[in-house]
Structure 1
């Protein structure tokens, strides 16, 4: 049967993880729990930073922005997946798919840029401590976040507009749990050379350059820490970076691992399962990584909970 190009295609099928119905209640409970933990954890971190004046510093300002973006990032994919599992319908409309892909690329890019900005903040704090307050002034911090948003919006808009020029065949099954750019390009019937070129070039530029900046910042940070004479000073300087370094490692290792493994094995199902690491797991564990050994955030959360709960006192 001859395939027919259809630029006005109305819907796609998201195949998800498994076609076995008995696994769907388990998957629904698992991803619902992870999503709720992600939203609550990042929301509490944002509230802690905003409610405590001692946390109104560049580092926590960027952290609050990262938590907000993480919540948006996971909200672009998980709710639709949960609805599909619960209703046992795997359909997503063409418009919804394009919109989901746009916001997914937007917030993934923002994650990338914010992690780079946070690395620069740690670089200035450790390598130029005497000039930190002058360099990392509120105007520069706001400008860095604004530029991150602008570049992410433009990148996402470019990829979306490039996709809109493609026509699709009658084969509209996406072997993923969300509308992933590479999977959608592979479904197209028209020539995708330009799309692939733009996708890989932008990935190298907008992911490679920030990663190079992070690695450069930490090379300078390590060099400065090694130059500190006291062991206590080395520990204090390193402890301010370990949380961010953990998040960076988790984000880049999982995302790069997914795309490198999918390119090597060409297994779409394996890629979908592995994508859970950076789309769901990473946003979920980020607030725990930053608050686990952070006395400032833990103290702010304690104050916040005491003010919110207002435990009544009973007198004899």
Structure 2
């Protein structure tokens, strides 16, 4: 395992340092991700205060949202233009479009799941925690975003934090986060009216000693490894699920020496939508998902020996 402490002043892809220890060839692990805000004025908190002007009375954060994905895609990037989804989060705390963008990445095979959680309190100093996120080694990068509210288009964000290093799951990453400007609104103050950046949007940039902020971080993101979820990938390789894509009727085939215990089906928002128990310990189990809407789903396969794997299936 590896513990990493980083100072993040740009939304660049972060790779963990090489470590000498390694795990088995695991496929999924559980992580807890927590962002703790210290957003306050220099007057109220001379040590950590990061705002040189008074905060608005309704200062708060929008939901922390994001995705786990692979290196073929990015949700946002320092020095690049914001997508419509990033713009909507940064300006008004609206997550609908970024959810659609993540869904498109999932359909294209470049993302694994959409993430969203609320903050503990409607306040500037508070915490948001994503508990027990399941991360696949095929989609080991974590990207997140939340609006600094109210504001013209200010946010905190991370892009492509890598939770893998070779065959190793990173143990802990601690990142001081700084405010960013999405480059889509030209307002200068927390409560500035809407002022669309013209003639065109500007690239995302960091707000260090810019606007109402000094050079101090606005909070800390802590990513903590919980446990490996897949025990023995050799057993998992003997599992097949077919046909895929399908119209919803599928067969799960295992070896007779290590049969399926149960299959759990989740939608892309992480909600469990079906469960199939292999009560007779047969080496084949029929799975009927024809009652579900067309789209992408995740099926967690749990074998009798406790080994687990998650497969993506498409219903059309």
TM-score by length of 2: 0.26
Which protein is richer in helix relative to its size? 1
Q: TM-score, normalised by structure 1?
A: 0.26
- Higher RCO structure, 1 or 2 (CA under 8 Å, sep 6+): 1
Where is the strand percentage greater, Structure 1 or Structure 2? 2
